[in-house]
A and B are shown apart, each in its own frame.
Chain A
């Protein structure tokens, strides 16, 4: 591959394994940067070389930009793949990587900067004529928020201007909830992003979270790879994702995809990214939310319905290769679902459950894929995200996919730690999920009802 022969994998867990496998398929060598807690990880075993970059604390290892670039240079890598999370959307990492003459497998730093500021992203989308939810500009005070709240319309979602992932996000239904929620959201945003700036957005209670996968090269070509419905969420964190989004009528689906392409073209978007929307299925309307300038956790569902390996595609376009297919070549086949398996105890309010996995017996069969870094005897460290794997299933349609997913979860045996597998089984067996009658608030409401029943 032009420009790339050895890739630094600047991440851990399942995505590190995923990147190593993609590199191997393309004949690229890999060096994985590991913290001292991950020396024995699957990624460390699979990579051509594993280099310990620091202690377990992410702030002293996976989050250190100078260390990541330094290890890439010192180990003879010519590219850095950041995965997702950690520094994946850091313009500083992208810029420093490129300034050292290395390839950054991701968008330009400037693209990340423009989309990291959610208010700027809204402004840019608005200029392109992409629909937005009624919202505010930057909040200057609680009194200011009180003033604009009425014009936006209740209920409201308080959002952090500098970030996403649910941090700094608060839902408010009434005036008296607004001031304390603003204070709490500002503190949370400040802690998470170093910036407590907030804005308000109208909240649609029965909405779906639908996102469009985009892929661009450095020659001005951009395509979309269909959409994903990621409405099953807990605390704004996605748990189950599927592709395509069955709630969309053809006209709405087309509008959504064209809006995503318009935003991508305006950004001269390079590499893989996601444009997120909120969809009101009753009104058959969609609204722009944000752009995630990275590969997403849920990318495999798109891979299964399109047949395109997104991580390989990232590496190929990052090396300067023009896209090797056009929009009309993208054909979606069947239906795919992904369940995120976490090392958590649902009975204990999803408390993390790190520790040694005694038994890891994964399901297999037609249409079943597992992206994971776990194995018998692996110790899930307590320092990082609790996700231990993603079970992804493909079928001819939603019904067949759901049946396969149920069977796969039934056959997934993990002992030694608590996992969310039993919880996921109950979620996908629920009649609402089976019929697709869900929304972004559906799971939260279900858990709230259950908790009240238990009390």
Chain B
């Protein structure tokens, strides 16, 4: 057993208020290596005079950093070709590509078409998100289930 999140936060608060420059704690499978550092702002914001601030730097910890918010891992989905066809990035009525990398798309948006002897099959993401990568080359034949797009899934706030 290691330290709980509560215990780690108590230790950090105590260490911050103490005159110790660094602190090493090992408890069970938790190891904390803490060190106080000085930060000098070259250009102080808001016209404030130069000042020295102290911050805590967690050098090593086997448990999540208690002071930083937990970052959600970025999730991607792959949009694969539902059929064989020539990968068309634009509609027959417009030369502009339907989407570009970075565009936000909703579940039924047409990302591209697969052209089989003039019959167009729309490619949709199936999930809302942001186009992270276009994986196939325009106007080239793509196979059944070939990776066409990587979509970054946008988490609801």
The contact of A67 among B84, B140, B145, by CB within 8 Å, is B84
- Chain B residues whose C-beta falls within 8 Å of the C-beta of A100 in the assembled complex: 117
Query: With an 8 A cutoff between CB atoms, is B120 at the interface?
Result: no
In the complex, what residue of chain B is closest to A96 when comparing beta carbons? B117
- Chain B residues whose C-beta falls within 8 Å of the C-beta of A52 in the assembled complex: 84, 143-146
User: Contact residue range for chain A?
Assistant: 10 to 19
Given contacts A66-B119, A69-B117, A70-B117, contact A54 B141 (CB under 8 A): no
Tell which of B84, B116, B117, B119 has the most Cβ of chain A within 10 Å: B84
Smallest CB separation, A100 vs chain B (Å): 8
B143 touches A70 (CB 8 A): no
A74 touches B144 (CB 8 A): no
B117 touches A54 (CB 8 A): no
Tell which of A66, A71, A74 has the most Cβ of chain B within 10 Å: A74
A36 touches B144 (CB 8 A): yes
Per-position binary interface string of chain A over residues 49-90, scored 1 when its CB falls under 8 Å from any chain B CB and 0 otherwise: 001111100000100001101110111000000000000000
In the complex, what residue of chain A is closest to B140 when comparing beta carbons? A74
Per-position binary interface string of chain B over residues 104-148, scored 1 when its CB falls under 8 Å from any chain A CB and 0 otherwise: 000000000000110100000000000000000000110111100
B141 touches A66 (CB 8 A): no
In the complex, what residue of chain B is closest to A73 when comparing beta carbons? B117
- Chain A residues whose C-beta falls within 8 Å of the C-beta of B153 in the assembled complex: none
Smallest CB separation, B89 vs chain A (Å): 16
A74 touches B86 (CB 8 A): yes
Query: With an 8 A cutoff between CB atoms, is B12 at the interface?
Result: no
Given contacts A66-B117, A66-B119, A70-B116, contact A54 B86 (CB under 8 A): no
B144 touches A55 (CB 8 A): yes
Tell which of B116, B119, B140, B146 has the most Cβ of chain A within 10 Å: B116
Q: A74–B118 Cα gap in the complex (Å)?
A: 12
B84 touches A71 (CB 8 A): yes
A51 touches B84 (CB 8 A): yes
Query: With an 8 A cutoff between CB atoms, is B83 at the interface?
Result: yes
- Chain A residues whose C-beta falls within 8 Å of the C-beta of B119 in the assembled complex: 66
List the 3 shortest-distance A-B pairs measured between CB atoms, nearest first: A74-B141, A52-B143, A70-B116
* Sample of 5 more A-B contacts, CB < 8 Å, known A53-B143, A70-B141: A51-B84, A52-B144, A53-B144, A54-B144, A70-B85
Residues of A within 8 A of B (CB): 36, 51-55, 61, 66-67, 69-71, 73-75, 100
